[in-house]
Amino acid sequence: MHFCARRSLLVLTLSGSTVAASAQKTYKHASDYKVAVLDQTIRLHTGTDLTTSHTSTDAKLDQGGQGMHFLHTETGDYRVEAPVNKGATFLAAMATPRYQVAPTVHNKWFLDKVQSNTQVLFAPQCSKPNKKHPNDVVRCVFWFPDPDSNDHEYMTTGDFTPYVTGDGANTAKVANNLCGTGKLNADTEAKLCAAVPKAMTEANTVGKPTVE
C-alpha cells in the first residue's frame, strides 16, 4: 500500500510539473514585442527567390518570387521578407549548376493572409545606424509570434528605414522663395502658399512696384 501510494504521488507530482511547465512556456521575445500596422504585402520577383507550394493548387497559382511585407510604426518603416526555408534552399544550392546563382526558397506564412491596415506584433533587432548617416536603412532580424501556437515564433530578416527629421519635401523652401512673387500659377499659389507665414510672403514683395 505504501509503495502504491508513493508511486501515485510521484505520478501526480510529475504530471503537475509537466502541466505547470507547459503553462509557463511562451514566446521567447514577448518582452520585446512592439505594435506595427501592415501597410502592404507584395510578391517581389527577383529572379532568384522562390516560394514553397504546399499543394498542387498552390503550385499552379504560384507566380514565383517572394512575399514582402511593409510595416509602419511611429519611428519608421520596416520591410519584412518571408521566412527562408533553409533545408529547401540548401538542396536547391546543391542542385544548381556551377557559376549560376542558386535560388533562395521562402515559406508561406500567416502574414501572407493578413489584410492591410491590420495591427501586428513583432520583435525587431536591427543593426546600429551609422553615426554620420543616422537616417540610412539598416538590416534587421525579426521574430513574429505564431498565431496558431503558444510559443512558436517565426524568425526572418529585412530592414528598417527611420523617419527623416522634417518631412523631407521641397515645398517649404520653394514656398519661401516663390510665394508672393507672381511666378507661380494661381492654383499652385493657393495650395502652396496658404500655410506660409504672411511676413515671408510680404518680404518677397518689398521693393516691387504695386499695380493699381
For residue range 153-208, what is the model confidence (pLDDT) as tens digits? Answer: 999 999 999 986 655 567 777 777 888 888 888 888 888 887 655 544 444 444 54
Residue 211 in domain = no
SS (H, E, C) the chain: CHHHHHHHHHHHHHHHHHHHHHHHCCCCCHHHCEEEEEEEEEEECCCCEEECCCCHHHHHHCCCCEEEEEEECCCEEEEEECCECHHHHHHHHHHCCCCCCCCEEECCCHHHHCCCCCEEEEEEEECCCCCCCCCCCEEEEEEEECCCCCCCEEEEEEEEEECCCCCCCCHHHHHHHHCCCCCCCHHHHHHHCCCCCHHHHHHCCCCCCCCC
Residue 34, Cβ neighbours under 10 Å: how many? Answer: 14
Residues 126, 83 within the same domain: yes
Residues 133, 193 within the same domain: no
Look at 87 and 143; give whichever has higher pLDDT.
Answer: 143
Residues 36, 140 within the same domain: yes
Residue type, 155: M
Contacts of residue 1, defined as CB under 8 A and 6 or more positions apart, other chains included, come to none
For residue range 35-73, what is the model confidence (pLDDT) as tens digits? Answer: 999 998 887 665 555 566 544 444 443 455 677 899 999
Residue 17 in domain = no
Residues 146, 42 within the same domain: yes
Q: What is the pLDDT of residue 170?
A: 73
Task: pLDDT band for 117, please (50, 70, 90 cuts).
Answer: very high
Percent of the chain surpassing pLDDT 70: 67
Domain count, the chain: 2
Measured CA to CA in angstroms, residue 101 lies from 38, 94, 110, 158 at distances of 31, 11, 28, 21
Residue 13 in domain = no
Residue 116 in domain = yes
Residues 198, 101 within the same domain: no
Q: What is the pLDDT of residue 43?
A: 75
Residue 20 in domain = no
Report CA Rg, the chain: 29
Task: pLDDT band for 93, please (50, 70, 90 cuts).
Answer: confident
CA distance 83 to 154: 7
Is the pLDDT at 1 greater than 50? The verdict is no
Residues 148, 180 within the same domain: no
Residues 66, 136 within the same domain: yes
Look at 87 and 18; give whichever has higher pLDDT.
Answer: 87
Residue range 72-92: mean pLDDT, rounded: 86
Residues 188, 131 within the same domain: no
Residue range 97-116: mean pLDDT, rounded: 83
Percent of the chain surpassing pLDDT 90: 29
Residue range 76-80: mean pLDDT, rounded: 95
Residues 47, 148 within the same domain: yes
Residue 121 in domain = yes
Least confident range from 71-80, 136-145, 182-191: namely: 182-191
CA quadruple 184, 187, 193, 199: dihedral sign: positive
Look at 156 and 134; give whichever has higher pLDDT.
Answer: 156
What residues make up the domain containing 43? 30-162
Provide the mean pLDDT of the chain. 75
Residues 158, 177 within the same domain: no
Measured CA to CA in angstroms, residue 4 lies from 7, 9, 13, 14, 186 at distances of 5, 9, 14, 15, 96
69 closest CA partner among 80, 60, 61: 80
Look at 6 and 33; give whichever has higher pLDDT.
Answer: 33
Residues 151, 77 within the same domain: yes
Residues 46, 139 within the same domain: yes
Q: What is the pLDDT of residue 104?
A: 74
Q: What is the pLDDT of residue 46?
A: 58
Residue 11 in domain = no
Residue 91 in domain = yes
